[in-house]
Amino acid sequence: MDRRKFLTLSALTVGGIAAVSACGSGSGGGGGESAGGELRVAQFGSAHRMGLFEQVFEAYTAKNPDWSLTLDAASNDAYLDKLATQVSGGNAPAVMGLFHSAVAQFARQNALVELDEYLGNGLDTSKFTEGLVDLGRVDGTVQGLSFGDNAHGSMYDVDLLESLGMQLPEPGYTWEEFLTFSADITRAVGGDFYGTEDRSSQLDQIFKVWLLQRGKYAFTETGDLGFDKSDLTDWLELWQMLRDEGAAPPADITAEAGGTFDSSALIRGYAANHQTYANALASMQALTESRLQLTTIPVNPAGSGSGHFVRGSNWVGLYARAENIDAAVDFLDFAFNDLDGAGILGAELGAPPNREVRDSLEYTEAEQNFIDYINLISDELGDTAIPLAQEFPPSWSDINTEFSTAVEDFRFGRTSVSESVDRFFERAESAIQAAR
């Protein structure tokens, strides 16, 4: 390498830096005056969802030409990494999409705007599902809103059921019936196929529904555990029985399912159902050619209620240190209530919280099935939900992990029921104490 080449290289480098710093708009901040400016919106999800948001932005800008909206998107798994970094650096977008498990965390760290003064005053929630807005209360004030109503549900491969001469279970079927027909399905299909999957290790999924049927919530208002050893013991033994009867798959088949839809037992061809949040229906449907339909999680006829409740999904909060809060509020109102905004989003983020909007939109077959199901829960079967702050106390993350460990250890046969239960309560206690 001679001197000339070296110098050319250096010149290229300097030129490169110059070119590169010309790209990009530098650090984005707010506009400042309410007369107009830029509003940044952070959202998680796939390109499809981002496309919808871009359309909503265009619709909003058409009505409010002084404002330009930009999307700060990231895929789900890395979304919080980026958002938390931005909040920490003081540079977060004004409108922040949040996972339901993150809202309380952000609120407790004073990262969110208190929205109470805007409710009914710039942000119309009068047509929302009753009680939904209160779910976003943390420490007394509303700090998060939900883009879509959601509920726990179970989706079945109805093509398979019909080929076996069976039908989709009617909403409200019991645990007894669940055990019987799941075992029937397993026997009828044979091989490595099971009537139900096993999602018993997730604190926020069917466990909550089952627990509520016993009249208990996972956490109390003070952040303590809302259930005791006998509950967890019963839960572990229930699913052991389901596995013993052949209704549910063994531990290793279940363990192969990650958190993604493509890895679920249903899609992989091991189970007839998928028990999760109802808004997963459309995405699951896209991955298989069989028809999927929603019904409830099994119900306890002697219990106190159905255990199902309307909850939020795809929450959103406003960044406490952002500059254009009024504009952000106005945008949210547009996205929730204006048909030009909410109509674009449709059922993508959940059932539109504004009931009038919800009833006036058109849906695909899968989406309609979902909307009908949500209406069923909120109008007929639903119990009262608890606010996010209670559902996700400060110690939630640790307890969630310990719960999975307890159930999985037992599932794999590494511990006995009592060992698992004792260890869980021991560790949960210390996590709660540590979080105080």
Partner 1 sequence: MTGPAQAGREVSRRRSRSAPGARSENRWGYLFLTPWFIGIVFLTAGPMLVSLYYSFTDFALLSEPNWIGTDNYVRMFTEDHRFWGSLGVTLRYVLIAVPLQLIFALVVAVALNRGLRGLSVYRAMYYLPSLLAGSVAIAVLWRQVFGREGIVNVVLRFVGVVDPPSWIAEPDYALYTLILLRVWEFGSPMVIFLAGLRQIPAELYEASAIDGAGKIPQFFRITLPLLTPVIFLNIILQLIGAFQAFNSAYIISDGTGGPLDSTLFYTLYLYLEAFTNFRMGYASALAWVLVVIIGVFTALNFLASKYWVHYDDGDR
Partner 2 sequence: MTAITTARRPLRGRRIVLHVVIGLGALAMVYPIMWMFAASLKEDSAIFSQIGLLPPVFDFANYAEGWNGLGEPFSTFFLNSFVIAGLAVIGNLVSCSLAAYSFARLQFRARAFWFAIMLGTLMLPYHVTLIPQYTLFFELGWVNTYLPLVVPKMLATDAFFIFLFVQFIRGIPRELDDAAKIDGAGPGRIYLQIVLPLLRPALVTGAIFTFLWTYNDFLSQLIYISERRLYTIPLALRAFLDSSGHSAWGPMFAMSTLALAPLIVIFILFQRQIVDGIATSGLKG
Give the footprint of partner 1 on this chain (CB under 8 A).
77, 80-81, 84, 87-88, 105-106, 109-111, 192, 251-256, 258-260, 262-263, 268, 397-398, 404-405, 408-409, 412, 414, 430
By a kind-dependent CB cut-off of 5 to 8 A, residue 416 interacts, out of partner 2, partner 1, none, with none
Residue numbers at the binding site for partner 2 (CB under 8 A): 1-3, 6, 9-10, 12-13, 16-17, 20-21, 23-28, 40, 44-51, 54, 70-78, 81-82, 85-86, 88-91, 259-262, 267-269, 280, 282-283, 286-289, 348
Q: At its nearest, how many Å lie between partner 2 and the CB of residue 57? A: 12
430 contacts: CB under 8 Å, gap ≥ 6: none
Is the Cβ of residue 90 or residue 215 nearer to partner 2 in the bound state?
90
Q: At its nearest, how many Å lie between partner 1 and the CB of residue 72? A: 17
* Amino acid residing at 6: F
Which stretches does DSSP call E strand in 130-272? Answer: 137-138, 141-142, 145-150, 152-157
Q: Which among 233, 239, 156 has a CA at the least distance from the CA of 200?
A: 239
Strands 292-295 and 152-157: antiparallel
* Measured distance CA(145)–CA(316) in Å, rounded: 5
Q: At its nearest, how many Å lie between partner 2 and the CB of residue 363? A: 15
Sign of the C-alpha dihedral computed for residues 271, 277, 278 and 283 taken in this order: negative
Is the Cβ of residue 2 or residue 252 nearer to partner 1 in the bound state?
252
By a kind-dependent CB cut-off of 5 to 8 A, residue 80 interacts, out of partner 1, partner 2, none, with partner 1
Strands 137-138 and 273-277: unpaired
Q: At its nearest, how many Å lie between partner 1 and the CB of residue 29? A: 19
55 contacts: CB under 8 Å, gap ≥ 6: 344
Is the Cβ of residue 17 or residue 434 nearer to partner 2 in the bound state?
17
Is the Cβ of residue 39 or residue 87 nearer to partner 1 in the bound state?
87
Q: At its nearest, how many Å lie between partner 1 and the CB of residue 212? A: 25
DSSP state of 185: H
189 contacts: CB under 8 Å, gap ≥ 6: 160, 164, 272
Q: Which among 387, 354, 341, 352 has a CA at the least distance from the CA of 128?
A: 354
By a kind-dependent CB cut-off of 5 to 8 A, residue 18 interacts, out of partner 2, partner 1, none, with none
Q: For residue 282, give both structure tokens.
A: 């459309």
> Is residue 155 a contact partner of residue 292, using CB atoms and an 8 Å limit?
yes
By a kind-dependent CB cut-off of 5 to 8 A, residue 46 interacts, out of partner 2, partner 1, none, with partner 2
Q: At its nearest, how many Å lie between partner 1 and the CB of residue 21? A: 16
Is the Cβ of residue 13 or residue 368 nearer to partner 1 in the bound state?
13
Q: At its nearest, how many Å lie between partner 1 and the CB of residue 46? A: 12
Q: For residue 155, give both structure tokens.
A: 């989706």
